[in-house]
């Protein structure tokens, strides 16, 4: 069953990751780890060592927390560019469950949500986010995020809260002091003022930004100068004299501008830049992480800025970052004003979120209060390519796809009264499904997602929990009327793209009489380029079956079978063959295939009846049907393959006849996110015990879906009729 409402497949679990930072930092105390839940608590989340997140949420807990619900999702930063997304769980008995992954190394935040609005914190996860009471976090370790890991106990710095008065109000900031810091001593420390932005709390720098771990690790590696770091919420003015005075009175820090730096995220980055550029005698270093400052720079400021400010470094995410266009305008203004600055380049893999800002902090801090030789962008970062401007509302069918894989979705005005609109597509790791929330834009809803890898994507809108077709997209899926499709072009997707007009094969409809269903039915048939109905040697024939809930149209509309076969034939990788895609939705598939589909195909096409020139394969239900034919009629098809299907019982199977009559038996399955994975692996044991020869080259990364099955067909088709 390839399409259910939400992906959510249960699979093997893994070890549970420990908490990273306690929720919030209150009073004058170091950041401490929160104790793990008691052993009796069953975790709602398990994360395997290879990055698969398995969620298992008791329905009773959901109902006790938020009441009865019709759907449950895990909201988290799982989407493209680490965007906030919704991963749907499937209810099986008393549990809502699903497996997502493999996730890239990094820190993830999430909450459980029922029916779009009923949020719930995972009570079995001891981590927290002070500014978001319903959020929990988990960490996927890896070499690329080693600076985000906890250092050995006792080797890191300390975080405490500084209370001070500003504008007749009592306010607070968080202060990190380096290992070995003492209130009394001979040497003063430089200081970095680190600001948050609108909707971002100072505690987020610890709970989501992993700032303490970053500073600790950089210090242990001697990659940063010893300094004091002051983290504030960014609600005050950019220069914030009251805070600077309070820090100087309380901590052993330098008071002169040469030893002071300022940086921030989003609006905090804007404030940092404005402070450094408008008052160049206050800070020697300034960093803007997704800051929105775009103007206010004049040539008259250049001399003072270049003389007093040693470093101005700009950071932006990709076009999903609201700062992307602002940064483009700012660099032009700085160039025009002849103000010296550095640009870290466009982060291709993140937008305006903590995944990007962690990287920004890691790049920025080692540049402070010391000489560095590298002033260029971070590895892999690109240039600004001008401003990103999607088409104006209502002017073009959606989705709008750019050459570099950014896709803008837009609804019609039909949903102006809607409360929650998402687009659900196969853009999670390896083709799993995630929903990306759209934002209201007047009477429409809109979002830009990406970058997406070159590939074939299918999606549908979910409007207040109801699946809806994107009527602005002319593509269709006959068996799933709410789905639409689009292709992101590129070399990786070449086999899924159309060949030049006139060079490919033909797909025709073939009507046949089904004695099983007692009706006329239809199959689609692909004939290769140059197909000759009068050729002396009949063509080999490949019968290719769909899965449950699908029909004969799906291998063409969703599986891209025509494009795959066209390319492989033109590339010289495919033996000349005819491919028949029949309707397998019948009570007796063996009879339907052998007594209805096969005779009709032979009557209409120049195809062989020799078993050595016949192949049979199918996905999911079609794979099970394929195994059924193999067991009941061994040797009828010399080439056999099953995609994401189990062999079933070995009772009454003539293994010797199967081996003698089959030149190739090749098996495929997705990874842990494919719900048939456990039964498939059991099937291998069954076949081994029977002594059946088969080929299995390992799992195909991805779920029980078309991303996997397209790859299976790409691998299988060139192997047919060649041994």
Q: What are 658-678's pLDDT values in tens digits?
A: 999 999 999 999 999 999 999
Is the separation of the CB atoms in 188 and 252 below 8 Å?
yes
CATH class of this structure's domain 148-367: alpha beta
Q: What percent of the chain has pLDDT over 90?
A: 86
Sheet containing strand 400-401, edge to edge, reads 400-401, 407-410, 444-449, 439-441
Grouping H, G, I as helix, E, B as strand and the rest as coil, residue 406 is coil
Q: What percent of the chain has pLDDT over 70?
A: 93
Confidence category of residue 50, pLDDT binned at 50, 70, 90:
very high
Question: How does pLDDT run across 23-43, given as a tens digit for each residue?
Answer: 333 232 222 233 333 334 799
Q: Cα–Cα distance between 680 and 171 in angstroms, integer?
A: 60
For the record, the structure tokens of 451 come out as 């970058």
Q: Cα dist. 114→133, 140, 227 in Å?
A: 16, 25, 45
Please name the fold of domain 1-141.
Answer: Immunoglobulin-like (2.60.40)
Q: Which residues of 285-304 are buried (b: 16+ CB within 10 A; e: fewer)?
A: bbbbbbbbbbeebeeebbee
pLDDT recorded at residue 168: 82
For the record, the structure tokens of 250 come out as 């309380």
Confidence category of residue 11, pLDDT binned at 50, 70, 90:
very low
Q: Cα–Cα distance between 453 and 489 in angstroms, integer?
A: 9
Q: DSSP secondary structure string, 546-557? A: --TT--TTHHHH
Q: Cα–Cα distance between 31 and 206 in angstroms, integer?
A: 9
> What average pLDDT does the chain have?
92
Report whether pLDDT(286) > 50.
yes
pLDDT recorded at residue 533: 97
CATH 3.40.50.1820 residue ranges for the chain: 148-367, 495-719
Report whether pLDDT(239) > 60.
no
Report whether pLDDT(697) > 50.
yes
Is the separation of the CB atoms in 229 and 196 below 8 Å?
no
pLDDT recorded at residue 10: 29
Q: Cα–Cα distance between 221 and 587 in angstroms, integer?
A: 67
Grouping H, G, I as helix, E, B as strand and the rest as coil, residue 265 is strand
pLDDT recorded at residue 30: 28
Grouping H, G, I as helix, E, B as strand and the rest as coil, residue 329 is helix
How does strand 455-463 pair with strand 466-468? antiparallel
Report whether pLDDT(2) > 50.
no
Is the separation of the CB atoms in 301 and 280 below 8 Å?
yes
Of 37-41, 243-247, 344-348, minimum mean pLDDT range: 37-41
Q: Cα–Cα distance between 214 and 49 in angstroms, integer?
A: 22
Q: Cα–Cα distance between 686 and 655 in angstroms, integer?
A: 11
Report whether pLDDT(51) > 70.
yes
Query: Across the chain, which distance is largest between two alpha carbons, in Å?
Result: 97
pTM: 0.90
CATH 2.60.40.10 residue ranges for the chain: 1-141
Q: Cα–Cα distance between 333 and 340 in angstroms, integer?
A: 11
Question: How does pLDDT run across 428-465, given as a tens digit for each residue?
Answer: 999 999 999 999 999 999 999 999 999 999 999 999 99
- Nearest CA to 269 out of 244, 295, 287, 243 is that of 287
pLDDT recorded at residue 236: 57
Report whether pLDDT(7) > 80.
no
Is the separation of the CB atoms in 556 and 581 below 8 Å?
yes
CATH code that applies to domain 495-719: 3.40.50.1820
DSSP character at residue 115: T
Q: Which residues, including other chains, have CB under 8 Å from residue 147's CB and lie 6 or more apart?
A: 213, 214, 217, 218, 362
pLDDT recorded at residue 299: 62
For the record, the structure tokens of 552 come out as 């004969």
- Nearest CA to 387 out of 271, 512, 505, 294 is that of 294
Judge residue 361's burial from the number of C-beta atoms within 10 Å of its C-beta, 0-12 exposed, 13-18 middle, 19 or more buried. Answer: buried
- Nearest CA to 446 out of 389, 484, 485 is that of 389
Q: Cα–Cα distance between 612 and 637 in angstroms, integer?
A: 7
Provide the 10 A C-beta neighbour count for residue 594.
Answer: 15
Question: How does pLDDT run across 533-559, given as a tens digit for each residue?
Answer: 999 999 999 999 999 999 999 999 999
Q: What residue has token string 């009477």?
A: 443
Q: What value does the CA radius of gyration of the chain take, rounded to a whole number of Å? A: 30
Provide the CA 667 distance to its chain's centre, in angstroms: 27
Q: Cα–Cα distance between 634 and 189 in angstroms, integer?
A: 80
């Amino acid at each position: 069953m390839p399409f259910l409402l939400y992906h959510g497949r249960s699979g093997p679990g893994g070890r549970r990751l420990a908490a990273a930072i306690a929720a919030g930092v209150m009073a004058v105390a170091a950041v401490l780890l929160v104790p793990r839940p008691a052993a009796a608590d069953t975790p709602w989340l398990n994360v395997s060592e290879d990055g698969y997140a398995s969620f298992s949420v008791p329905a009773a807990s959901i109902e006790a927390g938020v009441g009865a619900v019709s759907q449950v999702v895990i909201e988290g930063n799982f989407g493209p560019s680490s965007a906030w997304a919704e991963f749907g769980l499937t209810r099986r008995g008393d549990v809502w469950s699903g497996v997502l992954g493999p996730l890239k190394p990094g820190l993830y935040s999430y909450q459980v949500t029922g029916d779009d609005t009923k949020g719930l914190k995972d009570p079995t996860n001891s981590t927290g986010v002070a500014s978001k009471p319903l959020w929990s976090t988990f960490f996927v370790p890896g070499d690329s995020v080693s600076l985000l890991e906890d250092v050995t106990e006792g080797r890191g710095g300390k975080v405490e809260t500084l209370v001070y008065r500003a504008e007749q109000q009592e306010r607070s900031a968080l202060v990190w002091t380096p290992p070995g810091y003492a209130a009394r001593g001979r040497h003063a420390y430089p200081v970095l003022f680190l600001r948050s932005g609108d909707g971002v709390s100072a505690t987020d720098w610890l709970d989501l930004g992993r700032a303490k771990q970053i500073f600790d690790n950089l210090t242990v590696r001697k990659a940063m100068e010893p300094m004091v770091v002051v983290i504030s919420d960014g609600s005050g003015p950019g220069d914030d004299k009251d805070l600077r005075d309070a820090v100087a009175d309380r901590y052993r820090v330098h008071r002169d501008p040469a030893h002071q730096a300022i940086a921030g995220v989003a609006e905090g980055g804007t404030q940092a830049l404005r402070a450094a550029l408008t008052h160049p005698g206050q800070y020697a270093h300034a960093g803007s992480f997704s800051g929105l400052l775009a103007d206010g720079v004049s040539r008259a400021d250049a001399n003072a800025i270049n003389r007093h400010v040693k470093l101005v470094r700009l950071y932006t995410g990709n076009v999903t970052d609201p700062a992307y266009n602002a940064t483009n305008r700012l660099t032009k203004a700085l160039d025009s004003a002849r103000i010296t600055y550095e640009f870290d380049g466009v982060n291709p893999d993140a937008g305006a979120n903590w995944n990007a800002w962690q990287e920004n902090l890691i790049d920025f801090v080692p540049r402070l209060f010391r000489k560095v030789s590298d002033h260029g962008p971070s590895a892999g970062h690109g240039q600004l390519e001008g401003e990103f401007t999607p088409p104006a509302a209502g002017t073009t069918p959606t989705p709008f796809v750019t050459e570099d894989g950014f896709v803008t979705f837009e609804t019609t005005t039909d949903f102006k009264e809607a409360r929650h609109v998402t687009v659900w597509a196969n853009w999670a790791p390896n083709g799993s499904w995630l929903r990306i929330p759209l934002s209201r834009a007047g009477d429409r809803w809109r979002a830009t997602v990406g970058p997406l890898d070159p590939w074939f994507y299918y999606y549908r809108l979910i409007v207040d929990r109801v699946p809806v077709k994107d009527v602005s997209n002319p593509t269709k899926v006959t068996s799933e009327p709410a789905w639409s499709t689009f292709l992101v072009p590129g070399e990786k997707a070449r086999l899924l793209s159309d060949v030049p007009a006139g060079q490919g094969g033909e797909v025709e409809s073939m009507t046949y009489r089904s004695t099983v269903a007692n009706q006329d039915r239809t199959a689609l048939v692909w004939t290769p380029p140059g197909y000759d109905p009068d050729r002396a040697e009949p063509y080999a024939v490949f019968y290719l079956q769909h899965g449950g809930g699908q029909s004969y149209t799906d291998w063409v509309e969703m599986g891209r079978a025509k494009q795959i076969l066209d390319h492989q034939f033109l590339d010289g990788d495919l033996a000349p063959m005819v491919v028949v895609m029949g309707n397998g939705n019948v009570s007796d598939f063996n009879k339907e295939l052998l007594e209805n589909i096969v005779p009709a195909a032979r009557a209409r096409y120049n195809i062989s009846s020799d078993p050595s020139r016949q192949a049979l394969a199918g996905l999911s239900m079609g794979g099970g049907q394929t195994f059924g034919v193999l067991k009941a009629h061994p040797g009828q098809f010399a080439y056999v393959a099953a995609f994401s299907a189990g062999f079933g019982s070995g009772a009454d199977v003539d293994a010797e006849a199967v081996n003698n009559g089959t030149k190739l038996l090749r098996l495929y399955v997705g990874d842990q996110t494919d719900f048939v994975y456990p039964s498939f692996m059991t099937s291998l044991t069954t076949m081994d015990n029977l002594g059946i020869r088969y080929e299995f080259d390992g799992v195909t990364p991805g779920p029980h879906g078309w991303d996997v099955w397209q790859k299976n067909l790409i691998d299988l088709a060139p192997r047919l009729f060649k041994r």
